Amino acid sequence: MKSLLVGNGAREHAIAEQMAKNSELYAFMSAKNPGIAKLSKEFQIGDIKDPKEVLKYALHVQPDYVFVGPEDPLAKGVADMLLENGIQVVGPTKVAARLESDKSFARTLMQEYVPDGIPKFVVCSTERDVSEALKEFDTDIVVKPAGLTGGKGVKIQGKHLKNLFEVQEYANEIIEKRIGGSNVVVLEERLEGEEFTLQVFTDGEHIIPMPLVQDHKQAFEGDEGPMTGGMGSYSDANHLLPFMDEKDVEDALSIIKRTLRGLKEKTGLIYKGVLYGQFMLTKDGPKVIEYNVRFGDPEAMNVLPLLKTDFSAICMSILEGNLQMAEFENKATVCKYLVPKGYPDKSKIPEPTKIPVDEEAVKSVGAKLYYASVDAREDGIYTSTSRTLGIVGIADSIEEAEKIAEAGVQKVKTDALFYRRDIGTRELIQKRIEHMRKLRGN
Ligand code: GLY
């Protein structure tokens, strides 16, 4: 079997590892990811957001299936272009990808189909809308550009925005500067609780959940600092999270199922691929923060190494509409991202710097290494303007997995990068458990 992967981050490196197990892997990347390059029979560098370029390479490869890693190519219609030309693709079409690329579309759909699973929200596209909307809230507010911003466009009152004046100012800035590619901004009630990620495989009819993961979006330890694409994440051996129970997962899964049914009813579209629900577990149960139409990054690095079922077989069953099984090992995982100093503020990130990456040394402590946004040059690996390396520990408990990830991080000896030491530690997890206990009053 031949497969083609589109994308070149650490998430895609983790996907590539699975695809290469039982298929001949080809890759279309915007920059050379040395990990993916090594796993591929052949790769090509090009613009992954240009459907025509992706199609040209896919026609050359003639794969049995294409897997698209990141959201941007999906939002630009890469899946549509491939399907129109008879190439099977695991990943949603442009309209279905609006679940992620257009938060106004997503919220409006959810309002109809999962009113119990969302926070209060108002969609605005003028300054006047914003001043009217502000009167509707009696909680702190979250300000979200409706379009894609790589997770970095969201600002939260009480965290990044001091008061209502700053909320209004930022909402107006999104409208004026078209942050995220449009003049639409979504204002939402700030929910209190613990965030979690539930990713599912779906063929449009059948839905199979993956182990739950908790990501850490803020740049600095103790959940301080600006929002990032995600600084690291953990999952538990029982596939739940230490602050959640089975009922919470069932509720979250029901929200995902109803959303997919709504999408089908509203648009006639059958969603085939991976859907990622980012939830807040509140005292009243799970609420959707947002949907992503792909694997999470870093969350893919938590779940994919545990996959027992062949990934290509899962993809083929998604395409055939008979998805039945995806089994994962009962192991805990911790992923820590090493990122360039200054990240996520591009203006503060120094020039690309050569970093020593000793894959064998990371492996020697039992950790896994996934390349993210790096520039692999003749003379070595250089940093870029986004996250650099994902280091993953896998063990029977979160605590052990954290120690392995930490040991792996210590093998990357450079001060050009930083990471969050606290991710997956007993202290941080205990804080999460106590937070949820307090909220639920038990
Ligand atoms: N972990 C955040 C994301 O994948 O968008």
DSSP reduced 3-state for 318: helix
Q: How far is the CA of 243 from the centre of ligand 1 (A)?
A: 20
332-431 maps to which CATH number? 3.90.600.10
DSSP H or E run through 142: strand 141-145
Contact indicator for 261, 271 with CB cutoff of 8 Å = no
- Name the CATH superfamily, with its identifier, for domain 120-189: ATP-grasp fold, A domain (3.30.1490.20)
- Name the CATH superfamily, with its identifier, for domain 194-320: ATP-grasp fold, B domain (3.30.470.20)
Q: What percent of the chain has pLDDT over 70?
A: 100
User: Domain map of the chain by residue range?
Assistant: 2-90, 120-189, 194-320, 332-431
pLDDT per position as a tens digit, 40-78: 999 999 999 999 999 999 999 999 999 999 999 999 999
pTM listed for this prediction? 0.95
pLDDT per position as a tens digit, 334-367: 999 999 999 999 999 989 999 999 999 999 999 9
Closest ligand 1 atom to residue 295 Cα is 4
Q: From 297, 302, 336, give the residue whose CB has the most ligand 1 atoms within 8 Å, as the site to mutate.
A: 297
In angstroms, the first-to-last Cα distance of the chain is: 52
Please give the single-letter amino acid code of residue 17: E
Residue nearest to atom 4 of ligand 1 (CA): 296
DSSP H or E run through 202: strand 194-202
Phi, psi of 334 (to 5 degrees): -135, 130
Q: How far is the CA of 85 from the centre of ligand 1 (A)?
A: 30
Q: What is the predicted pLDDT for the residue at 365?
A: 98
DSSP string of 62-122, one letter each residue: --SEEEE-SHHHHHTTHHHHHHHTT--EES--TTTTHHHH-HHHHHHHHHHH-GGGS--EE
Q: How far is the CA of 296 from the centre of ligand 1 (A)?
A: 4
pLDDT per position as a tens digit, 98-128: 999 999 999 999 999 999 999 999 999 999 9
Q: Does domain 2-90 have CATH number 3.40.50.20?
A: yes
Phi, psi of 347 (to 5 degrees): -70, -15
DSSP state of 350: P
Closest ligand 1 atom to residue 298 Cα is 1
Q: From 215, 228, 233, give the residue whose CB has the most ligand 1 atoms within 8 Å, as the site to mutate.
A: 215
Assess whether the previous peptide bond of 226 is cis (omega < 30° from 0): no
pLDDT tens, N- to C-terminus, the chain (442 residues): 999 999 999 999 999 999 999 999 999 999 999 999 999 999 999 999 999 999 999 999 999 999 999 999 999 999 999 999 999 999 999 999 999 999 999 999 999 999 999 999 999 999 999 999 999 999 999 999 999 987 779 999 999 999 999 999 999 999 999 999 999 999 999 999 999 999 999 999 999 999 999 999 999 999 999 999 999 999 999 999 999 999 999 999 999 999 999 999 998 988 999 999 999 999 999 999 999 999 999 999 999 999 999 999 999 999 999 999 999 999 999 999 999 999 999 999 989 999 999 999 999 999 999 999 999 999 999 999 999 999 999 999 999 999 999 999 999 999 999 999 999 999 999 999 999 999 999 8
Residue nearest to atom 5 of ligand 1 (CA): 296
